[in-house]
Chain A
């Protein structure tokens, strides 16, 4: 999952970025309103964490413009403003959630994860397909009840695919959603991770869980297909 952090306060952005990366999210940081808007319009983010007082363009205006242009990325607003009215106004102008400063880092992370889930149309933090169970909170993967040891990147790929069952996900999309923009993008890396994932998840004699569609990308098989 890749999120956009729009925050002008460098130290806060640094801390939040590091915290998000440590839980396995790819983070892009925008230090001001216009940059934030430009990045948000790319449509590659699974959630946006938005500060309100930004140089160049206020968070509120940014949010309103995004929503007007039908960009539906979940937005969590960080606000230091007082008062119920501004919160109501915020939610009405398209924010999905808000947190007032000073916030609890754990709460922020939980809320960002929830925002990502809801953005994908999922309410349960435990994702299931066939006999695979992915716990997004504990970051564990179970296959037929047995714990499978996956690397963080493999986990993120699997999590992303699980959020989009039956859809064909291209390598480009995976790259966009798994890595920050500072990362060197190599589709070979994705291929290697997918291959590792297959090896760890698939038991012999069964259809592979992750299906490769040549020149198009990857797709998760649903239960029926897997047991057929």
Chain B
């Protein structure tokens, strides 16, 4: 499909309007010119007829007749005329004859076509008195029919209209050229913007709209929108790139450990005990690779999979049940760390997460809290609800989180400076997974330091089912 050109459309529209006004102008000019020319023409016609009437004179004969004396009158060879008296005596007529039948019978001015030529006729009446001084004189009623060819009038009209027409056409042509040039010039910022945008590629996403485009009112919104969209794209590309490189780093390190353990064992012949110990370590290292891969896959699944379960039903689970389950699951670890876990659940609801994700979320937060709790302390979980969301908080009594780390704590593979998670076996993905789960369900997660020491994780998850249904389901469960 040929793309539509805005420039061409605009130019064409302007030219079309100009052409229309040109047509209107020419028509008006024709009407006007015709009017004025014919007005003058009629005055002239009347004048000629009048002067012909004036040329009717006393014949100086006994019958007191009148004659037409054309001497001293201007010669108008092509004009047609006929002068009669009351007895229909022809006093004089033009050289050309035989037109009288065609001439109009009525008084006044009218147009007639004779032999394919346009004429305009006037018929006037006058009274000529012969010898008025003697005995009252003899009066003759004279009628004059006078016709003049109108060809030259039309010619003049067309000449002056042609002048208008040519002037307008020249103006039209100039407008077309000027418009094209102006449009091209006016659209220069757009072309500049396009040129800049053409330089973009996946590797080069930094974009700053040219100044000229930003200073153009029509292009400013587009420029700014492009800039911000590309900035966001660039940021997410960078994030993705960093995630990939961090993931590669993590995996390579884990594989390097596993490989070096095996190669160390193979360096020289060893005793059976040494082999046994070595194999145990190799298994440990292998478990670590496995865990890293597992968590990476979990993050990828939570971040990129469809929010709906395979059977098309929307994912959902009862949050309280998941919290309780995760507490059960981490009981052994809590005992090992000599940390007490307490749950204060004042509400329950169905939230829009798959059960395994919900378990993963609760378990990750709980294990994190346990890991950072000193022996003899307590981890407190609470479940509460406001109008739209369930709020799960996990508080520990540990040393809290370094202020510098707080901003990065949800970044994949981020670890505090002392690398403590690495030592304690974490991959640095746990909180990223938690965040991905919460965001997918339309909720949020935040971690902060508590005033009294320790950290608190707060999770908000939108409630899927109303409270009544929940309460009912809880009651049923309790009965069972």
Contacts and interface: CB of A to CB of B under 8 A. Distances in A.
A12 B253 contact: yes
A101 B253 CA distance: 6
B417 interface: yes
B263 A105 contact: yes
Contacts of A187: none
A56 B252 CA distance: 21
B260 A19 contact: yes
A56 B253 CA distance: 19
Interface stretch (B14-22, B370-378, B392-400, B418-426): B418-426
A82 B268 contact: no
B145 to A, nearest CB: 109
B260 A106 contact: no
A121 interface: no
Interface in B406-445: 417-419, 422-423
Interface residues of B, number: 25
Interface in B217-271: 245, 248-249, 252-253, 255-261, 263-264, 267-268
A22 B268 contact: yes
Given A9-B422, A55-B419, A104 B249 contact: no
Contact of A103 (B256, B264, B419): B256
A35 interface: no
B238 to A, nearest CB: 15
B285 interface: yes
A151 interface: no
Find the residue from A15, A22, A53, A104 having the highest chain B CB count within 10 A: A15
Interface in B277-293: 281, 284-285, 288
A9 B245 CA distance: 18
A82 B250 CA distance: 12
A10 interface: yes
A120 to B, nearest CB: 24
Find the residue from B255, B268, B281, B419 having the highest chain A CB count within 10 A: B419
Given A15-B264, A106-B263, A101 B419 contact: no
B249 A12 contact: no
A78 B249 CA distance: 11
5 contacts: A9-B257, A55-B417, A80-B256, A101-B255, A105-B263
Interface of A: 8-12, 15-16, 18-19, 22, 32, 53, 55-56, 78, 80-82, 100-106
Given A9-B253, A11-B281, A82-B245, 12 more contacts: A8-B422, A9-B422, A10-B423, A11-B288, A12-B253, A55-B418, A55-B419, A78-B256, A101-B253, A101-B255, A101-B256, A103-B256
